Amino acid sequence: MTSTLRTGILGIGTRIPDNVLTNDDLARIVDTTDEWIVTRTGIRERRLLSPGELLADYGAEAARRALDNAGVPLSEVDLILACTYTPDRLCPSLACDIHHRLGPELGSAAAFDLNAACSGFLYGLHLADKLIATGTHRRILLIALENHSGILDFTDRSTCILFGDGASAVVLGPVEDGSDSGIYATCIGADGEGTAHIQLLHDGPMHPESPHARNDGQPYLRMNGREVFKYATRVFGVALDEVLALAGMSTDQIDFLIPHQANMRIIRAGAERIHIAPERVVMNIERYGNTASVSIPLGITDLLAEGRLKKGDTLALVAFGAGYTYGAAVVKW
């Protein structure tokens, strides 16, 4: 019989931009108000990359912090997995750009990008868990990172108020013998019916005449917020039920729920549906907006920084996003 290894999060590191954009700043750019944004989304401010800054630099910095935190040397990393739908460029991959920045000590570690939009971190965790459990890889740098400021249309008030930027990395590897920490279950899924509702359009064969390009010719994000809202509130509970069943656990065994931070109202509705107390639900959308794939590791970073996350605590993670995609995981810290 082949035994499998349990994957653990050995370290975590985050790098968010210094540049803060408040709701009042946005109200000077588009027809909106702080009151509308706070009431409808819970967002008060977000961090954005400054012109000329590259996501690859943020990813490399987050990776170095995660390796330091884990006490794992760069030379042991055998795979870099970058989860993003907003890379600096399409090819070469952002993971290879990060590889280049981290330097020769990495040797021939593999590197590639994964695009599952806001569910990216959980898709990446799902895949990395299998690669470690089967012994295929031993030290994986899983990096979630997004540059929304590069793809938003700052004349479209229905999208530009929602998003923020940043990078967060985890080092994954087998847990030590006898430890009960690590990943207990993951699940991922998709629903192609959602393809029409969130799109990031490039000049490509799907859109030869580029009808939705911004005036500067760059692609931008379009979203049917009401449709996404309906999907998100429904799939939130579905994904959590699925992953808890896989882990053989119930909601009352969960110390913290860390949901994707897309909208405070979606999080509250989802948490109510699964009967989890508000104080056990991590909410930081107020300070960062929707950072897509970054929001879950950013939630873990905040819990740690606040001294609330203790060894042995059990986390439920859940996300949904463009595609549609969804993912969930149960992790013991």
306 CB-near residues (< 8 Å, 6+ apart): none
Kindly tell me which residue out of 62, 70, 79, 161 binds ligand ACO, with binding defined by CB under 6 A.
161
Q: How many residues bind ligand ACO (CB under 6 A)?
A: 22
Each residue 43-82 as x (binds ligand ACO by CB under 6 A) or -, in order, gives ----------------------------------------
Kindly tell me which residue out of 49, 72, 80, 118 binds ligand ACO, with binding defined by CB under 6 A.
118
Q: Kindly report the backbone phi and psi dihedral angles of residue 255, in degrees, each rounded to the nearest multiple of 5, phi listed first.
A: -80, -40
Kindly tell me which residue out of 4, 155, 158, 210 binds ligand ACO, with binding defined by CB under 6 A.
158
Kindly tell me which residue out of 95, 117, 240, 318 binds ligand ACO, with binding defined by CB under 6 A.
117
Q: Is 174 in the site for ligand ACO (CB under 6 A)?
A: no
Residue nearest to ligand ACO (CB): 225
Which of the 8 DSSP states describes residue 2?
-
Cα–Cα distance for residue pair 132/146, rounded to 1 Å: 25
Kindly tell me which residue out of 169, 185, 228, 282 binds ligand ACO, with binding defined by CB under 6 A.
228
Cα–Cα distance for residue pair 201/211, rounded to 1 Å: 9
Q: Is 263 in the site for ligand ACO (CB under 6 A)?
A: yes
Contact segment (CB under 6 A) with ligand ACO among 45-53, 104-112, 224-232, 234-242 equals 224-232
Task: Give the burial string for 95-111 (b: 16+ CB within 10 Å, else e).
Answer: bbbbbebbeeebeebeb
Q: Is 225 in the site for ligand ACO (CB under 6 A)?
A: yes
Kindly tell me which residue out of 80, 114, 145, 232 binds ligand ACO, with binding defined by CB under 6 A.
232
Sign of the CA dihedral with 319 first, then 322, 326, and 328 last: negative
Q: Is 261 in the site for ligand ACO (CB under 6 A)?
A: no
Which of the 8 DSSP states describes residue 161?
T
For ligand ACO, the closer CB: 72 or 235: 235
Q: Is 14 in the site for ligand ACO (CB under 6 A)?
A: no
Q: Is 23 in the site for ligand ACO (CB under 6 A)?
A: no
Give, in order, the Cα–Cα distances in Å from 219 to each of 82, 104, 203. 21, 34, 8
**Pick from 84, 76, 114, 82: which is nearest to 96 by CA?**
82
Catalogue the active-site residues. Answer: 118, 260, 290
Cα–Cα distance for residue pair 54/196, rounded to 1 Å: 29
Total Cβ atoms within 10 A of residue 76: 16
Cα–Cα distance for residue pair 107/268, rounded to 1 Å: 45
Q: Is 226 in the site for ligand ACO (CB under 6 A)?
A: yes
Chain positions contacting ligand ACO, by CB under 6 A: 32, 36-37, 40-41, 117-118, 157-158, 161, 198, 225-226, 228-229, 232, 262-263, 266, 292, 321-322
